[in-house]
Structure 1
Amino acid sequence: MDATVAVTDVSSVGPNTVAIVLESPDGFDARPGQFVKISAAVDGEEYARFYTLSSPDAHETFEITVGVDPEEAGPFSRHLLELESGDELDISGPFGNEYYEDESHVVVLGGGPGVGAAVGLGERALRDGGSVAVIYKDDAPAHEERLADLRERGATVVVTDGDLADHVSEVYTDGAQAFVYGFADFVQEALDALEAVDADPADAKVENFG
């Protein structure tokens, strides 16, 4: 699906990180773990980036989480950070096959920008009555309020800037569906940690951000 949609809210959710809420176009059906392409013209140049949903569903609106390194931010990143309610963006999607499909027991491993997918998926699985564990690796965490809410509602939530292996061994149990979202180095660390607890890495649903 291709559509032009309005921004309904932009809020800070962590260091150099914002959550952008967008109107869902008619017929838009996306699940946690899927991603969309966001496009816009900035100073006459066309830009496009892919962002994973960070909302538990896409009913009426959906959310993406955008983290920007201020030392490396280009024109499009700065444009996204400066959006206000009522501004418009072009979207395409949803894309991706590694998403939540009503699994009853999920373990979500998110690194850096993977926190968006982690909180959205965790919230959806809890809402559906599932068992949820989230391990989030970052030295400057985002979405701390939503992570705290997940914990209060019964999810196991670990925030760390260290090694994943010990935490995975504490929360992973046979039969859990593992989800992994993050950059390549994190993805490899997460898959190694899963293999160390005798989980088959090939069974994990993985979105590698490059």
Structure 2
Amino acid sequence: MDATVTVQSVESVGPDTVAVTFDSPDEFDAKPGQFVRLTADVGGESESRFYTVSSPDTDGSFETTVGLDGGEFAASLADLEPGDTVDVSGPFGEDYYEGEPRAVVLAGGPGIGPAVAIAEAALDAGNEAAVVYQSDAPAHTDRLDRVRDRGGSVVVTADDVDDAVTDAVTGVDGETAFVYGFAEFVDDATAALTDAGFDGETKVENFG
């Protein structure tokens, strides 16, 4: 769908990272792990970028997480104020949370947005969640703490994720791995899943 959405809030959620929350348009139903295309004015020109939904649901509002290393477009989103509007299209993507009984989410860098969304959605549904997050400047630490408090497993590391992935994988029926990040992380994370003996479904979103 295509719509114009209003900004509810812009909040710092970590080093050079903000969460932008928008009003959800009518009939908008994005799942954790899907993404949208945002279109905004940047220096007098209309530009678009894709961002993954980082809220566990889109009832009334939805959130995207924006890294400020994303150039002028990201900076323009960080400068938005409540009441401003942007255009949104979507949702897009097939690799999202669909109620799996155990979600093992491996996130690198900007993959933290969908990671916290999926973990929260899984716990909200009474299911299990584990997050392995590779970053030397982590974002969404408050939400990760709440995932831990609710019984989810969370490992944040600046090093390789091999041991953490091995610990996160249990082999229970329906366990599904979700991998979100740039290409190098995706390759390392999927290799770690293989080394851990994981043979369940793997859903991957490669950010390039």
TM range (shorter): over 0.9
Paired position in structure 1 for 2:189: 190
Deviation at 1:41, TM superposition (A): 1.7
Partner of 1:85: 82
Residue aligning to 2:180? 181
Aligned equivalents of 1:113, 1:100: Cα separation in 2: 17
| TM-score between both structures, scaled by the size of structure 1 | 0.96
- State the partner residue of 2:132: 135
Provide the secondary structure at the position in 2 that maps to 1:173. coil
**1:2-50 Cα shifts (integer Å, max 9, x gaps):** 0000000110000000000001000101110000000012222121110
Task: Give structure 1 stretches of 5+ with no counterpart.
Answer: none
Counterpart code for 2:163? D
1:124 aligns with 121
**Aligned mate of 2:148, from 146, 151, 172:** 151
Q: What is the CA RMSD across the aligned residues, in angstroms?
A: 1.0
**Are 2:16 and 1:19 equivalent residues in the alignment?**
no
- What's the TM-score, normalizing by structure 2? 0.97
The aligned counterpart of 1:208 is 206
Query: How big is the shift at 1:162?
Result: 0.6
CA shift for structure 1 position 75: 2.5
Corresponding residue for 1:56?
56
Structure 2, gaps ≥5 residues long: none
Instruction: Give the superposition deviation at 1:161.
Output: 0.6
Query: In the alignment, residue 190 of structure 2 is paired with which amino acid?
Result: L
| Counterparts of 1:83 and 1:44, CA distance in 2 | 15
What do the CA deviations read for 1:40-80 (whole angstroms, capped 9, x no partner)? 122221211100010000000000000112xxx53222211
Cα drift, residue 197 of structure 1: 1.3
Percent identity of equivalent pairs: 55
- The one of 53, 72, 75 equivalent to 1:75 is 72
CA offsets per residue over residues 131-186 of structure 1, 9 Å max, x none?
A: 11000110000000000000011000000011111111111011310000000000
Tell me how far 1:198 sits from its aligned partner: 1.6
CA distance in 2, matches of 1:161, 1:47: 33
SS in 2 for 1:56: coil
- Distance in 1, Cα, partners of 2:13 & 2:33: 19
Read off the aligned partner of 2:203 and give its amino acid letter.
K
State how far apart, in whole Å, the 2-side matches of 1:198 and 1:170 are: 11
Runs of 4+ in 1 over 2 A off after TM superposition: none
CA distance in 2, matches of 1:97, 1:172: 22
